[in-house]
Each structure stands twice: as C-alpha cells, then as structure tokens.
C-alpha cells in the first residue's frame, strides 16, 4: 500500500462504499458491523437521515462566514449545550485537541485575570489522552507521543491514576486546576470511581482550583448520561467535548461556567472554522436526537445488554479476556492475548473494533444500535474468540 498520506497510521487495507446505522459495506461488498464508529465519533451511526437532511439543507445556505459575524446556528447550539449541562458559555472548535487547548487556556486565564498569573499548572493522570497538539501531548504525558518533538510544553504535573494523596501532594502555589477524562478512552477504558471524582471536586473547591474534564470521548450520551461526570453527580468548571458532538462532522466545544471563563474576553482566543454554520447545524441535529426523551435511558439499557453478552464471553474464554470495562455504550475488553490479534480476528468475523492502551480492545458502537446489532456483535465476538481460544475452551464452547 503506497500512498501520499503521511504514514502515521497503521491503516487496515479496507475502504467502504456504503454505510447505514452500525453497518458498513466494503468496496468488495463485504459487510461489517461497525463497533469502532470512527473512534466513538458516529454517535448516530452512518448516514442518519436527520443528519443527512440537515447537512444538505445547510449546504444550500452560506457554508462559512467566520466568527466576525453572528452565526445563529452556533448561538442556538451553545444555548442548548448550556441548558443540558453545568455550562454558561461555549467556545466551538474543530477537534477534541482544540477543545482541550481552549480548556487549558481558559483555566490559565481564569487565574491570570484574578492576579495570579503564576498559577498555570494542571495536574493530570497517568494513562491520559488529551490530543496531539504540542500542549495536549504534554498534558497526556505519553512518552511515545512526546518523543522527538522538542521540549514538552511546560505546566503539566502527572500523578498515578486514581491516587488522591498524590493529587494533594502535587498541588503547589502554581497549580491552576486538575485535568482528567472521567473515563480514559485511549488509555484503556479506565474509569475513575464516582467517589474519587467527588473528592476531586471538593478538593478543587477547597483549594481554589478549577476542575477540568476531558469528555471528548465519554461525553454526548456515550455513557448513558449527556456528560459522564453526571454518574458521579459532579459538575466541572470546564469540559471539553468533540467526537460524538458532530456525529462525523468535525466539531468540538469547550464548555465553561461564566466564572471559569471570565478571562476569555475579546481577543483572548479564536478559531477560523470553529462553530461554522455547517458544523453547528449538524451539531444541533445530533442534539435533536441525543437529547430527545428516552434516548439516553435507551443507551443505558442497551449498554447493560451488551455488558451481559461481554460478561458471558469473559466467562467462557478466560484465557483470552481478563476483564470487561465500561459504562453505557463505551466498553473495553482487557485482553490476555495481544489486543491487535483479537481485533484482527474480530474483523475477519465482520466486526470492527478500536484498540486502546493497557492491551484493551474498545467497543464504542453508534448509540442508535438495537438489540439485533448487539446479538450480531456477540456472535461475531464469540466466533473471534473461538478462532483464538485455547483447545480446552474450544471444546467447552462446542
């Protein structure tokens, strides 16, 4: 496979000509059940009629006017995001990394305009992933992503996952806030305990720090709540969204309370494309569906059903699957064999998954799947397991 694209991705030699819901048809006609969903992006699956219609209508109106003019679609989308969450104000971006960048800048500026410019550091957690810009690779702290790109951006102090004492010990007079994903996605579906998030909230309140949540992957209904932090009853000061927000159209958002965003005045930040009419229209169409009555309860119910199927596989194939992790429709299978081998076997059975750190295979299907899609996924996963299982387990399964 030669290509003029940067060879930065380990691409499967597979491309698609048609998609509908959770299903993709490859160029050669093979059908795949897409539980990768463009890495948790396709919240409403492929070619959702409401998104298609919205984008077509938006294509007949001005595509782009810049943020030097009012963009009613973006104003409306921001209002709806605020109504659905803790936030009072929104800054739109084109990607998750930019949403996190805006969150970092908002945090630093909050302290700077209050006369505390020395407070610019954020405490982060091992296993984090916040994007691939220079600041967000520094925040993520993954040595593999930092290697060769010069001195890391200053201002991030990483502590072990879920270690409250380490967080407390890491706070200095330069600390501005804490930055974390309520559920680490790329890091391997590692979930911060609700009680831990609640303790961090209390700690931030006591020490004058901002709680900044990266909900780029776990937000927008993925876990059965609009924001994953709702499971813990915790409201952040700032949150980053992206992936599922545009349902496949590039769209991110930094949400903040009015207080947290008080430094973000005219000229403090900008984006040429952020929240343009096309993106904002599609984001609005995503919310039409995700915020509709009963949608998130349905995600939770289907998630419980999928979890049951995955737990059965874990019981049947203990030599392959160490643990099932997840919430809502965001799952990880912690594997005992190399996760890549399992993903290849699943693909051979017609199921697309995504790899994650900690030897995890991620299952992040469109939120609009139904029971029959879950049954199809379970039988494909089971067939993939049978390909790879130890002989004794194969006999047991027969």
Per-position x/- string for 38-77, each x denoting binding to ligand PLP as judged by CB under 6 A, each - no binding: ----------------------------------------
Shortest distance in whole angstroms from residue 267 CB to ligand PLP: 24
Contact at 8 Å (CB) between 100 and 136? yes
Strand ranges of the sheet holding 360-363, from the earlier edge strand across to the other edge: 321-327, 330-335, 360-363, 354-356
Q: Which is nearer to ligand PLP, 126 or 341 (CB)?
A: 126
Per rule CB under 6 A, is residue 349 in the interface with ligand PLP? no
Binding-site member from 216, 280, 346, 356 for ligand PLP (CB under 6 A):
216
Per-position x/- string for 96-135, each x denoting binding to ligand PLP as judged by CB under 6 A, each - no binding: xx--x----------------------------xxx----
At CB < 8 A and 24+ separation, what contacts does 166-173 make? 167/123, 167/200, 167/203, 168/203, 170/123, 171/123, 171/207, 171/209, 172/121, 173/118, 173/119
Provide CB contacts within 8 A for 265, sequence distance 6+: none
Q: Using CB under 6 A, which of the segments 76-84, 178-186, 223-231, 274-282 binds ligand PLP?
A: 178-186
Per-position x/- string for 232-261, each x denoting binding to ligand PLP as judged by CB under 6 A, each - no binding: ----------xx------------------
Shortest distance in whole angstroms from residue 133 CB to ligand PLP: 7
Among 262, 245, 269, residue whose Cα is nearest residue 74: 245
Shortest distance in whole angstroms from residue 354 CB to ligand PLP: 10
Per rule CB under 6 A, is residue 95 in the interface with ligand PLP? yes
Q: Which is nearer to ligand PLP, 96 or 366 (CB)?
A: 96
Per rule CB under 6 A, is residue 93 in the interface with ligand PLP? no
Q: Minimal CB distance to ligand PLP: which residue? A: 96
Count interface residues toward ligand PLP (CB under 6 A).
Answer: 15
Among 153, 150, 231, residue whose Cα is nearest residue 141: 153
At CB < 8 A and 24+ separation, what contacts does 73-79 make? 73/277, 73/280, 73/281, 73/284, 74/275, 74/276, 74/277, 74/280, 76/280, 76/284, 77/275, 77/280, 77/283, 77/284, 77/287, 78/253, 78/275
Where do contacts with ligand PLP occur on this chain (CB under 6 A)? 95-97, 100, 129-131, 181, 185-186, 214, 216-217, 242-243
């Amino acid at each position: 496979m030669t290509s003029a694209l940067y060879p930065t991705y380990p691409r499967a030699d597979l491309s698609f000509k048609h998609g509908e819901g959770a299903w993709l048809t490859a160029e050669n006609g093979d059908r795949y059940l897409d539980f990768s969903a463009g890495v948790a992006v396709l919240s409403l699956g492929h070619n959702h009629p409401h998104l298609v219609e919205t984008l077509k209508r938006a294509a007949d109106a001005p595509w782009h006017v810049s943020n030097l003019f009012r963009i009613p679609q973006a104003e409306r989308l921001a209002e709806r995001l605020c109504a659905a969450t803790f936030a009072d104000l929104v800054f739109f971006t084109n990607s998750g990394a930019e949403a996190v960048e805006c969150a970092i800048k908002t945090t630093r500026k909050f302290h700077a305009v209050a006369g505390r410019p020395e407070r610019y550091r954020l405490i982060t957690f091992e296993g984090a992933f916040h994007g691939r810009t220079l600041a967000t690779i520094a925040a993520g702290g993954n040595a593999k992503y930092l290697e060769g790109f010069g001195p890391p951006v200053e201002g991030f102090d990483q502590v072990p996952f879920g270690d409250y004492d380490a967080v407390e010990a890491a706070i200095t007079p330069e600390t501005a806030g804490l930055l974390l994903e309520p559920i680490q996605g790329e890091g391997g579906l590692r979930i911060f305990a609700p009680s831990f998030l609640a303790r961090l909230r209390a700690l931030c309140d006591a020490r004058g720090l901002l709680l900044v949540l990266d909900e780029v992957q776990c937000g927008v209904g993925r876990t059965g709540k609009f924001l994953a932090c709702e499971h813990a009853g915790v409201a952040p000061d700032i949150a980053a969204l992206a992936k599922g927000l545009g349902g496949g159209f590039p769209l991110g958002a930094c949400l903040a309370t009015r207080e947290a965003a008080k430094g973000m005045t005219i000229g403090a930040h900008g984006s040429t494309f952020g929240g343009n009419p096309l993106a904002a229209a599609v984001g609005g169409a995503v919310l039409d569906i995700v915020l509709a009555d009963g949608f998130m309860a349905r995600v939770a119910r289907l998630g419980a059903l999928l979890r049951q199927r995955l737990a059965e596989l874990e019981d049947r194939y203990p030599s392959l699957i160490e643990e099932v992790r997840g919430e809502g429709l965001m799952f990880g299978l912690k594997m005992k064999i190399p996760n890549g081998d399992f993903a290849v076997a699943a693909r051979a059975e017609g199921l697309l998954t995504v790899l994650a750190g900690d030897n995890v295979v991620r299952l992040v299907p469109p939120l609009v799947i139904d029971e029959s899609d879950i049954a199809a996924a379970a039988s494909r996963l089971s067939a993939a397991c049978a390909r790879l299982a130890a002989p004794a387990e194969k006999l047991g399964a027969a």
